[in-house]
Amino acid sequence: MTNPDSNKSKEIQTLIQNMETFNEVTEQLQNSYDELQGRVKKLDLELSDKNDELEKNLAEKERVKNYLNDILESQTNGVIVVDRAGNITTCNKTTGTITGIKPQSCIGKSLNEVFPLFESVVARLGKSRGETISQDKDIANANDGGTLHIRISASPVWDNHGGQIGTILILQDMTEFRRMEELAQRNQRLREMGEMAAGIAHEIRNPLASIELFASLLKKDLQGDSEKEDLVQHIRAGVQNMDRIISTLLLFAKSAQPSRQQCDINLLLTECLEGINNVLVPENINVIRKSGPGTLLANGDRELLRQVFPNLINNAIQAMPEGGELNLITQKSSVPNPKAENSATARQYISVTVTDNGVGMSADNLAKIFNPFFTTKDKGTGLGLAISHNIIKAHQGTIDAVSEEGRGTSFTIKIPSWDEDFDEK
Ligand SMILES: Nc1ncnc2c1ncn2[C@@H]1O[C@H](COP(=O)(O)OP(=O)(O)OP(=O)(O)O)[C@@H](O)[C@H]1O
Ligand SMILES: [Mg+2]
């Protein structure tokens, strides 16, 4: 027979044991849970580190991208990149300035569609075995309708493994360079012509003096025979005319040495219009004058400048036989000093613009106007502008003309301002 008390104590014993086992398992579970939480925390930390690193990488990539983009956009040359299929992948701001086409609107389009003119350069590159190809092209200036001289250079773009992934085109605006080149050629040509003219003038002057001497002796001998005296007088008039031409020619040939004075440019122009120096403005020509503020003082030689303005004004008057408008604009202007290292330093000039709305000139004639003896007039010597050019050059100034046939002509002269600190002052 079993004792009920001992049974109960056994049950209690078992219950206690079970409780202990339960507690043990619970404790193990708690430990595992804590361990798991620790690992999750660690993983969280690692993940956050990775995120930080990724973010840093992204920011660095963005910084490099912006940096490269800034370099590209700051280029003074146009840059276009096309992929192997000929589609534009990059196009910088300067390309837009040169071509007048918005850079953003080019991306993804084919080069042939947007810039058909450049296609031939890329085609030539294909045959050049990877060497850079350059070609000069004239394109319309998007800003003023003039012509821009562009040098286009095409080179292949290679990847790390030496495969060609596209083509890069560099557009260089050569307009100013070409203008300077033409100016240098013009100066050289005029210098040579001047030397030649001086030689010829001296050679002719001596025999001319003899003709004049003998003609005057002959005239004395023929006194009383008025008919023959008249003939001799014709010879003498011809000789005097030739002598005048030679004097003008020598004026062109000798290098003018300006003596530096304060020249009130507006006053010189007023003198001119008042009839000094053979200027006579006909009634059918309306003179319009505009001047910048203050007294415009140039650093120049009054006597030499008195030979320049009358010629420009007379040329303008002669270009308007039916009448018209003669505009004289004077102002102070500044021109970047090419010799200065700091491009911000500009030289001060007094500029005079003489504009007429007369017959104008063809481009062919315009290219020759500063050549001595180039004239389209029956009674012109063709020396006016050649002399003016030399005088202005001797002042370290510039003289330029723009003209359109049937529309008119505009001459602009720039003479150093008096307050400009030129070496020669
Ligand atoms: N304002 C102008 N409009 C049209 N053509 C011009 C003008 N100025 C100059 N030219 C052209 O340039 C040429 C040369 O001018 P330049 O003053 O040197 O000589 P010219 O006027 O012909 O002769 P000169 O000055 O001896 O009287 C002129 O014959 C003319 O064809
Ligand atoms: Mg003239």
Domain check: are 412 and 265 in the same one? yes
In this structure, which amino acid lies at residue 84? R
Distance CA 306, CA 327 (A): 18
CATH number at residue 330: 3.30.565.10
pLDDT at 424 over 50: no
Shortest-distance Cα residue to atom 4 of ligand 1: 360
Average pLDDT over residues 363-383: 91
Q: What is the pLDDT of residues 316-370, one digit of tens each?
A: 999 999 999 999 999 998 877 655 555 556 789 999 999 999 999 999 999 999 9
* Domain boundaries, position 245: 178-253
In the chain, the amino acid numbered 311 is N
Ligand 1: residue of 325, 352, 369 to mutate (most ligand atoms within 8 A of CB) is 369
Pick the atom of ligand 1 nearest to 354's CA: 1
Residue type, 233: Q
The answer to whether position 202 is within a domain reads yes
Q: Which two tokens stand for residue 308?
A: 């320049």
**Is 291 in contact with 329 (CB distance < 8 Å)?**
yes
Contact 99, 115 (CB under 8 A): yes
Looking at the CA of 385, which ligand is closest? 1
The token pair at 346 is: 């500009």
Asked if the structure places residue 79 within a domain, the reply is yes
Question: Domain ends where: 253, 288, 320?
Answer: 253
- Percentage helix, strand, coil for the chain under 3-state DSSP, each rounded to 5: 50, 25, 25
Q: Is the CB of 377 under 6 A from ligand 1?
A: yes
Report the DSSP pairing between strands 133-140 and 78-83.
unpaired
Report, in angstroms and rounded to the nearest whole number, the Rg of the chain calculated over CA atoms. 43
pLDDT tens sequence across 185-196? 888 887 888 888
Residues with CB under 5 A from ligand 2 (ion): 311, 315, 384
Q: Categorize the per-residue pLDDT at 143 as very low, low, confident or very high, splitting at 50, 70 and 90.
A: confident
Average pLDDT over residues 5-18: 89
201 and 112 both lie in a single domain: no
One domain for residues 185 and 163: no
Does ligand 1 lie within 6 Å of residue 381's CB atom? Answer: yes
The residue-averaged pLDDT of 367-385 equals: 90
Q: Is 353 in the pocket of ligand 1 (CB under 6 A)?
A: no
Question: Residue 348 gets which letter from DSSP?
Answer: E
What is the distance between the alpha carbons of residues 362 and 307, in angstroms, rounded to a whole number? 26
Per-residue DSSP letter, 417: B
Tell me: do 113 and 149 sit in the same domain: yes
Q: What is the chain's mean pLDDT, rounded?
A: 89
Residue 155: pLDDT band (50, 70, 90) is: very high
Q: Say whether both 190 and 318 belong to one domain.
A: no
pLDDT at 320: 97
CA 345 to CA 394: how far, in whole Å?
22
**Are the CB atoms for 392 and 399 separated by under 8 Å?**
yes
Could you give the number of structural domains in the chain?
Answer: 3
Q: Is the pLDDT of residue 421 over 80?
A: no
Please check the confidence at residue 167 and state whether its pLDDT lies above 80: yes
pLDDT band at 425; cut points 50, 70, 90: very low
The percent of residues above 90 in pLDDT, for the chain, comes to 62
In a domain, 379, yes or no: yes
* Contact status, residue 314 vs residue 306, Cβ threshold 8 Å: no
Q: Please give the DSSP secondary-structure letter assigned to residue 259.
A: P
Looking at the structure, tell me whether residues 200 and 130 fall in a common domain: no
Last residue of a domain, one of 198, 233, 253: 253
Ligand 2: distance of its center to the CA of 209 in Å?
Answer: 27
Neighbours of 333 (CB within 10 A): 14
- Residue 320's Cα: distance from chain center in Å? 32
Confidence grade of residue 127 (pLDDT, cut at 50, 70, 90): confident
* 301 and 244 part of one domain: no
How do residues 64-118 score in pLDDT, each as one tens digit?
Answer: 999 999 999 999 999 999 999 999 999 999 999 999 999 999 999 999 999 999 9
Tell me the pTM: 0.64
More confident residue, 127 or 397: 397
- CATH code (residue 210): 1.10.287
Say which range, 54-68, 97-111, 125-139, has the weakest mean pLDDT: 125-139
Residue 37 CA to chain centroid, in angstroms?
A: 71
Q: How confident is the model at residue 420 (pLDDT cuts 50, 70, 90)?
A: confident
Whether the predicted pLDDT of 412 surpasses 90:
yes
Name which residue sits closest to atom 10 of ligand 1, judged by CA.
315
Whose C-alpha lies nearest to ligand 1, atom 19? 382
Do the Cβ atoms of 275 and 247 come closer than 8 Å? no
Pocket lining: 371 vs ligand 1, CB cutoff 6 Å: no
| Polymer length of the chain | 425
Same domain, residue pair 269 and 292? yes
pLDDT at residue 142 above 90?
A: no
Interval 112-130 mean pLDDT: 86
State residue 345's pLDDT score: 66
What does the pLDDT read at residue 330?
A: 98
- Provide the pLDDT for residue 146: 80
